[in-house]
Amino acid sequence: MTQTTHTKVLVIGLDAVDPQVLLDWCDSGCLPTLSAIRERGAWGLLETPTGMADDAVWASFSTCVSPAEHCRYHFRTVQPGSYQLRRFRRHHFNNPPFWEALSNGGKRVAIIDVPKSPATRELNGIEIRDWRVHGNEGTASSIPPELAEELFQRFGDDMTDRASGKEFLCGIPELTDSQRKDFFERLRRSIADKTTVAKELLSGGDWDLFLAVYKEGHCAGHQCWPPDADLKSIYRSLDGAVADLLQAVDQETTVIVFSNLGMRANHTGEHLLDKILQRLENLYASSWHGYRAAVDKLYHGVRSRLAIPATTSRYRSRLAFPVDFNEMSGAIRINQLVREPDGRIRPGADTERFTRFLETQLLALKDPDSDLPIVEQVLRSEDLFPGYVGEWLPDLFVVWNRSQPIVAATSPAVGIVSTGDSEVRPGNHIPGGIYFACGPTVEKTPCNASIVDIGPTIAALLGVCLDGETHDVIDSIGISLASNTTPDGSVTGLSGG
């Protein structure tokens, strides 16, 4: 059968609103709007890239591809051919956002604050970037440019997250009572500001796609774990914002509300990883390598104390070294010959042997007091992302066991490693999101999906094919494959709706 789609689509992102907490509070009646969408339509869990946090997940949402293709795993990423990390900017992406294809296909789109996503040069509609986002990329900008200027004049700077580049309240390990009160007042104001703007734009334009992301659940989750009354107040405010936006659309609009990640207690061994790797290297490597490492450490230590910049990386004589990443997982780069400027491990069999050694020894690490493992998984990028060639991502991700605080580690190979208590914010991410959807083509059927399915689903609902690629889309919203969209905008082979 053939059907031409005429629906409009409203998409609301609730950044890092925890799926289980969301479901529990829907069941208890605290979130009536989201509960009603779930009852009226479909919902499901969203798979996200394993071991990855918000930088990679938002990038995968907007580009509809894995981190192996878009290459963003953190806001600072590996610089190929160097030991340096670079700030990953919007123009570094290899892939455009899916809404660019919708715009090129003649659809009118409004995009508000999708974080960690590629730059859009031209758009049939509007886009607001870095206005109210968690971990902004810089000064707010927009298409057209005057829109961002107007928002700043009306609402001022973002007073929740890196205000004027100086504050990052959700990154503070422990807020004082006055800071906490101020923090939540700012969050509630931020929700109100975005809802005001979104309602104005919704009513003022004939949009095919209207997509807005709220960051406040993300910011609150970092400071409110375990969940408490303050977190519930933010979730309730977000539920109210969804209700306000629903009033601005008609019954023929397909509505998708989703969260990209969950939250749990921020128990991490990140502060132990470098020392653990050094001990494992000394066990694995020759005495000559140990001598070179000691000399290199002395060199960098002396120059640091003298405030003289080092001329080489302190990792140049290492077999492996940690790179910046989210606290949910440790990230390791193996110092390979050819790939790194001063590589030590030959690619191929030598790298494989060393990698297996690291995997075995990291999984053997335990908490000295409880005897529980401190590492849940050791993941290889080459296994997570088949076909990845190893230039841009860490080689290994060390997923920490989050069941209890990690203050030390022990194993027969490393002895006891401790660096003192780690000062981290109370909550941090776990993989996996959730979506709720309702509308004229949405079946009342639970259906799990992936974060990369949302863009193709939207495109299929609007009758646009994303560059001829075949993507899975969320079946319960009514379309089985985005590639079923034909050049004239019709959709063939609908599985539902």
Beta strands in 346-495 (DSSP E): 375-380, 396-400, 408-411, 415-418, 427-430, 433-438, 449-450, 490-492
83 band by pLDDT with thresholds 50, 70 and 90: confident
Note the pLDDT of residue 399.
96
Note the pLDDT of residue 487.
29
Q: Calculate the CA 328 to chain-centre distance.
A: 11
17 band by pLDDT with thresholds 50, 70 and 90: very high
290 band by pLDDT with thresholds 50, 70 and 90: low
Query: 348: burial class by Cβ within 10 Å (0-12, 13-18, 19+)?
Result: exposed
**pLDDT tens digits, residue range 234-271?**
999 999 999 999 999 999 999 999 999 999 999 999 99
Q: What distance in Å separates the CA atoms of residue 256 and residue 456, rounded to the nearest whole number? A: 13
Give Cα separations from 391 to 56, 309, 440 (angstroms): 16, 26, 45
Burial state string for 39-67 with b = 16 or more CB within 10 A and e = fewer than 16: eebbbbbbebbbbbbbbbbbbbbbbbbbb
**pLDDT tens digits, residue range 192-222?**
999 999 999 999 889 999 999 999 999 999 9
Average pLDDT, the chain: 87
452 DSSP 8-state letter: G
Task: State the pairing for strand pair 76-78/85-87.
Answer: antiparallel
Beta bridge partner(s), residue 316: none
Q: What secondary structure, in 3-state letters, does 20-49 show?
A: HHHHHHHHCCCCHHHHHHHHHCEEEEEECC
CA angle 194, 98, 38 (to 5 degrees): 60
Question: In the predicted model, what is the mean pLDDT of residues 472-488?
Answer: 47
301 band by pLDDT with thresholds 50, 70 and 90: low
Q: 497 pLDDT exceeds 50? A: no
Q: What distance in Å separates the CA atoms of residue 437 and residue 442, rounded to the nearest whole number? A: 7
Note the pLDDT of residue 477.
74
**pLDDT tens digits, residue range 361-389?**
999 999 999 999 999 999 999 999 888 87
Note the pLDDT of residue 342.
86
pTM over 0.85: yes
Strand, helix or coil for residue 149: helix
* Tokens 């609402």 found at: 155
Q: What distance in Å separates the CA atoms of residue 260 and residue 26, rounded to the nearest whole number? A: 18
**pLDDT tens digits, residue range 431-468?**
999 999 999 989 888 889 999 999 999 999 999 988 75
**338: number of Cβ within 10 Å:** 9
Note the pLDDT of residue 300.
56
Note the pLDDT of residue 317.
83
Note the pLDDT of residue 466.
85
**pLDDT tens digits, residue range 91-137?**
899 899 999 999 999 999 999 999 999 989 889 999 999 999 998 88
Q: 165 pLDDT exceeds 80? A: no
Instruction: State the first-to-last Cα distance of the chain, in angstroms, to the nearest integer.
Output: 12
Compare 326 and 169 and report the one with higher pLDDT. 326
